[in-house]
């Protein structure tokens, strides 16, 4: 099966293994094999919010960050390389080498990166205060007190993170139904994000 994907909203095109050609008007069944291209249209609501939540979930996962992941997180928090390097007290050249995979980021620098990314991604989400503030405090505690990045893992192991759309909670405390096009925010499924 061939798949072509375009962006975070658009179309997925694939060649299907088997297709029942019912629209040809034949009085018998016509089956086409590996000859029909199917296009599915899709959209992801609040793509920026989802990317911020992905960055948050990844920095809270204890597995050591790869260069590609560092690059993704930097892009997710909309930081320039020089700006991020200054924030985590390293040279832009060193950060560039870490992002390219030529160097491995030290545990201390990685911890600073994770904290800065968490704080920045949290601000990008523009979530309302209250329960979210408590969650932020718990996440920061988790980073400082419990997290020690694990550098030994099988590089072929796929890290899988799961997310769901959480409805916005109005001031009266009742949950509104999720609005796929607007209100609500992305939330990580804590049970499935740990590797």
Q: Does one domain contain both 103 and 181?
A: yes
Q: Which residues contact 6 (CB under 8 A, 6 or more apart)?
A: 12
Render 145-188 in DSSP notation, one character per residue. Answer: II---B----TTSPP---EEEEPP--TTSPPPPP-TTSS-EEEE
The whole-number pLDDT of residue 69 equals 95
Number of domains composing the chain: 2
Whether residues 104 and 26 fall in one domain: no
Residues 77 and 117 in one domain: yes
CA-CA distance, 86 to 92, in Å (whole number)?
Answer: 8
24 and 52 in a single domain? The answer is: no
Do residues 109 and 140 share a domain? yes
Does residue 99 share a domain with residue 78?
Answer: yes
Do 27 and 39 belong together in one domain?
A: yes
Q: Are residues 100 and 7 in the same domain?
A: no
Handedness of CA 64, 95, 142, 130 (dihedral sign): negative
So what's the pLDDT on residue 191?
46
Q: Is there a single domain that holds both residue 62 and residue 39?
A: no
Tell me, yes or no, whether 62 and 37 share the same domain.
no
pTM for the complete prediction? 0.63
The domain in which residue 34 lies consists of: 3-43
CA distance 148 to 48: 28
Could you read off the pLDDT of 162-174 as tens digits, one per residue? 887 777 666 566 6
**56-70 b/e with 16+ CB inside 10 Å = b?**
bbbbbbebebbbebb
CA distance 118 to 160: 19
CATH number at residue 84: 1.10.260.40
Say yes or no: 27 and 86 in one domain: no
- The crossing angle, in degrees rounded to 10, of helices 107-125 and 47-60 is 150
Indicate if 107 and 187 belong to the same structural domain. Answer: yes
pLDDT score of 179: 57
Residues of the chain with confidence (pLDDT) below 50: 1-3, 6, 191-195
* pLDDT at 195 (0 to 100): 46
Per-residue model confidence as pLDDT tens digits over 48-66: 888 988 999 999 999 999 9
- The dihedral region occupied by 125, where left means phi > 0, alpha psi between -120 and 50, and beta the remainder, is alpha
* pLDDT of the residue at 158: 82
């Amino acid at each position: 099966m061939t798949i072509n994907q375009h962006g975070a909203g658009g179309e997925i095109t694939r060649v299907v293994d088997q297709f029942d050609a019912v629209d040809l008007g034949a009085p018998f069944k016509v089956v086409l094999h590996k000859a029909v291209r199917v296009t599915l249209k899709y959209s992801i609501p609040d793509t920026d919010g989802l990317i911020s939540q992905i960055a948050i979930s990844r920095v809270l996962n204890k597995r050591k960050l790869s260069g590609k992941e560092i690059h993704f997180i930097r892009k997710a928090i909309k930081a320039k390389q020089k700006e991020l390097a200054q924030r985590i007290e390293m040279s832009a050249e060193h950060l560039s080498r870490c992002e390219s995979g030529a160097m491995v980021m030290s545990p201390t620098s990685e911890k600073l990166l994770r904290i800065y990314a968490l704080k920045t991604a949290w601000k990008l989400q523009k979530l309302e205060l209250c329960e979210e503030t408590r969650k932020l405090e718990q996440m920061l505690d988790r980073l400082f007190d419990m997290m020690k990045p694990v550098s030994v893992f099988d590089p072929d192991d796929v890290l899988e993170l799961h997310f769901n759309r959480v409805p916005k909670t109005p001031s009266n405390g009742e949950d509104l139904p999720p609005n796929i096009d607007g209100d609500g925010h992305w939330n990580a499924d804590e049970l499935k994000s740990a590797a």
